[in-house]
Amino acid sequence: MPGKTTKKTVKPSAPAPARGRKKTVKEPDYLIALLVDGTGIYASWKISDALYGKILRKALTDYHGDPYLFLQVAALDTGGPGELEDIPVYGRENRWHIFTTEAMAGRRVVLRLSYQTARGKRETVLQSTELDIPLGDAALLALLGRPLLHDERRLRLYEASGIREQLAATSPSANS
């Protein structure tokens, strides 16, 4: 599901600063990644004027002069391929929803926002905090043959725990 650029609802309403007393407040850059449910990651980012200027100096730009940006899901552990998803995105301030895949299940990942240079190289400008993508039921079953979960006792404990029924009963699709 593509994200969309949105405007903030909160506006500072303090009196205008007096001449000569204005302090420079550094605009924050951020890339926020949140695990929204078992199957999705919400990403939200903001690029300050300073950073945007830096990107524009080196980036490949489109017809409108905007840089080509990419949101990448990268695994930090060593359980498989490092790059799990690479999504072309746009906008200095934007949001994106990424569906987690079986390849991501059980992995520790970060999101990176990068631009493409005129020479085709990728330069990362923002990185999120780490996310541990949960192992869903399907992933658990698909992966049981691997040493990671090849533990008969843990499987039996999982079955005894009632988690499968609990999550199925309260999943958004079951309730909708």
Partner 1 sequence: MEKERKRKGPAARLVLVLHAHLPYARIPGERFPAQELWLYQNITECYIPLLRTMETLADEGVHFPLTVSLSPTLLSMLGDDYYRHKYDDYLGCIIALARVHAAPEGSALSGALTHLARRIEETRDRWNAAKRDLAAQFRILSERGAVTLVTTTATHALLPAYRFSPALERLQIRTGQTVFARAFGPAPRGLWLPEMGYHSGLDELLHDCGVEYTFLEAHAAYGAVDGPEYGNFMPFATESGLVIFPRELRLSGAVWAHRVGYPGDARYREFHADYTWQMSEHELSRLGLERMPLGIKVHRITGDGMEREPYDHAMGAAAAREHAADFIARIRERAALVAPLLGRPPVFTLPFDMELFGHWWYEGPEFLEALARLAADSTDIAFVTPEELLREGIDSSGRPAESSWGKSGYFDTWLNPACLHAYPIIAELAERLFAHRPNARTLTAYRQAASEIMLAQSSDWPFFISWDRFADYGRSRLDEHMTAASRILAGIEAGEIDDNYVETREAHYPLFAASSIESII
Give me the residues that bind partner 1 (CB under 8 A), please: 6, 8-18, 21-23, 25-26, 28, 30-38, 42, 44, 46, 77, 79, 95, 106, 108, 128-136, 140, 148, 151, 153-154, 156-158, 160-163, 166-167, 170-172, 175
Closest separation in Å from C-beta 168 to partner 1: 10
CA distances from residue 15 to 18, 19, 26, 72, 162 in whole angstroms, order as listed? 9, 12, 19, 41, 57
Q: Residue 96: what residue type?
A: W
Closest separation in Å from C-beta 57 to partner 1: 25
- State in Å, rounded, how far the first CA of the chain is from the last one: 19
Closest separation in Å from C-beta 32 to partner 1: 4
**Which C-beta is closer to partner 1: that of 87 or that of 167?**
167
**Which C-beta is closer to partner 1: that of 96 or that of 115?**
96
**Which C-beta is closer to partner 1: that of 51 or that of 117?**
51
CA distance linking residue 120 with residue 175, whole number of Å:
46
CA distances from residue 1 to 36, 99, 121 in whole angstroms, order as listed? 14, 8, 26
CA distance linking residue 105 with residue 32, whole number of Å:
20
State which H helix or E strand residue 155 sits in. Answer: helix 152-161
Helix, strand, coil percent values for the chain (each to nearest 5): 25, 30, 45
**Which C-beta is closer to partner 1: that of 22 or that of 64?**
22
Closest separation in Å from C-beta 126 to partner 1: 11
Closest separation in Å from C-beta 79 to partner 1: 7
**Which C-beta is closer to partner 1: that of 56 or that of 171?**
171
CA distance linking residue 47 with residue 61, whole number of Å:
16
